[in-house]
Amino acid sequence: MIRNVVTGFAPVIAILATCVSAFADCGSCEGGKGGACCGTKTVCQRQYVTEMKTVTCTEYKKETREKTYTVMKQVPRTEERTRTVTVCVPETRTKTVECTVNKQVMETKTCEYQVQVPYCEEVEQKYTVMVPVTEEKTRTYTVMVPYCEEVEQKYTVMVPVQEEKTCTYTVMVPVKEEKTCTYTVKVPYTEEVEETYTVMVPYTEKVEKTRTVQKRVPVTTTKTVKVCCGHWENQMVEMPSCGTDACGNPCPPKMCCKRVWVPEVKTKEVPCTTYECVTEEVPYTVCVTKCRQEERTRKVCVQKCREEERTRTYCVTKCVPEERTRTYCVTKCVPEERTCTVKVQKCRPEERTCTYCVTTCVPEERTCTVKVQKCRTETRTREYQVCKCVPETMTKEVSYTVMVPQEKEEKYTVTVCDCVPEEKTCTYEVCVPVQVTKEVPVKKCVTVQVEVPCDCCDKGCCCGGCDGCCDSGCKKGCRRKRCRRCCR
């Protein structure tokens, strides 16, 4: 503020200084021998006078006001409803079943069979391995670092309120009862059968294959970038003249030096390195295990079943209805307004440097010993029992339980929430503009007449006019305007 005021009054001060110097030059002489004074002269000078000025300005005053708004409130109410429920009632029934039972007869037999006994044989094989070579590189990246800021928020919570209620319900109580029944069992027995089967005999074969390997190759390109730059320049500015001097002539204009910023945009070529992926086909040898089909014969034991009748005791559970009473809690929700502090996550950019590894694979040939599995045939003998079944028909009575559905009506209670409007009042502040009258100090420039002593020349004073200057014998090289005009 002070700097702006000083800058605004700088031209006026410069003009005043020029006028005062002109007045002093006009009253002085080229040189004096005697040093005597001719008298006094009246000079106009400018002075700044501070005056109080009445100004009307607008100020804002805080004013408290009230407003009314409507809130929808949920009021819970209990409602009784009726529904139809299907209940399954157990019912015991009896039926007669005919069944055939197989009785088992055991018989011992002997048979020969062939077994393929496996054995291992070591074989040397060559294979190619891609050995990884790791290289470290560094790059700079920008990370958005999160930081938390706490903000206060208002929220409405439905607070649960519990209420106890009593109801009567029917329970089916299970009652156990023992019963005996006869059942038919399928008893297994083994029978030897000759069958033909196919075996896949393995053999090893070398196969040449190729695989695709990717490498990252650096590629350098040139990128054009615009750079903003500039420089300061000193420019001479002509200040217009203001007012006249004591002799009535206009004051000469003043040249001022002004510093100006000259912007400039330059184009610059910057090298840029990028990485491209190059695909390469690499050959390698693999040992593949293949199989050929071979047909063989063997004796197989086939399991068959014969029916056999047995007796067992089992428990039958019957359900007897029983009426019970229970107490249960009904939860209702009441709205409640609360305030909480929430952390809001924001991010600020941060530049970081990381080192990463680039792995390149180099092929390397190695040798390994592989175990190949082979089989040899071996004949063995074994004894086995054959079970024969003799069928026998029997009749039995079986009890079974059937669930018969029955429909009945029951009453149940439901809690329903009704929306009821409710009016609330809140207070808020408003800034109201008010017109205020103030007295402000203002600086005013006033011209004042001052008497100054006048210096004399050796033969006369130049202030007496053009005639006096020339009559007093002014030198030809005098620089004053009036003297130049008259001495020509």
Query: Could you tell me if 437 and 457 are in contact, meaning their C-beta atoms sit under 8 angstroms apart?
Result: no
Q: State the pLDDT at residue 9.
A: 54
Q: CA-to-CA distance for 89 and 191, rounded, in angstroms? A: 49
Give the Cβ contact number of residue 483 at 10 Å: 19
Q: Is the pTM of this model over 0.75?
A: no
Q: State the pLDDT at residue 360.
A: 83
- Residue 246 φ then ψ, to 5°: -65, -25
Q: What is the pLDDT of residues 293-312, one digit of tens each?
A: 888 888 888 888 888 888 88
Q: Is residue 19 one of the residues assigned to a domain?
A: no
Q: Which domain holds residue 440?
A: 36-456
Give the Cβ contact number of residue 469 at 10 Å: 25
Q: CA-to-CA distance for 186 and 126, rounded, in angstroms? A: 59
- Which pair of tokens denotes residue 343? 């952390």
Q: Is residue 285 one of the residues assigned to a domain?
A: yes
Residues paired with residue 153 on neighbouring β-strands, in sequence order: 340
Q: Is residue 109 one of the residues assigned to a domain?
A: yes
Query: Which CA distances in Å does 380 have to 107, 111, 112?
Result: 21, 9, 6
Q: Is residue 31 one of the residues assigned to a domain?
A: no
Query: Could you tell me if 412 and 79 are in contact, meaning their C-beta atoms sit under 8 angstroms apart?
Result: no
Q: Is residue 200 one of the residues assigned to a domain?
A: yes
Number of domains in the chain: 1
Q: State the pLDDT at residue 38.
A: 58
Q: Give the 3-state secondary structure of residue 477.
A: coil
Query: Could you tell me if 341 and 151 are in contact, meaning their C-beta atoms sit under 8 angstroms apart?
Result: yes
Q: State the pLDDT at residue 475.
A: 47
Which residues of the chain fall short of a pLDDT of 70? 1-38, 243, 245-247, 455-488
Q: Look up residue 350 and give its amino acid.
A: E
Q: Is residue 483 one of the residues assigned to a domain?
A: no
Q: What is the pLDDT of residues 148-167, one digit of tens each?
A: 888 888 888 888 888 888 88
Token pair 């005697």 is at which residue? Answer: 34
Q: Is residue 182 one of the residues assigned to a domain?
A: yes
Q: Is residue 433 one of the residues assigned to a domain?
A: yes
Residue/partner pairs of 254-258 with CB below 8 Å, 24 or more apart: 254/11, 254/14, 254/15, 254/18, 258/234
Q: State the pLDDT at residue 14.
A: 52
Q: State the pLDDT at residue 262.
A: 84
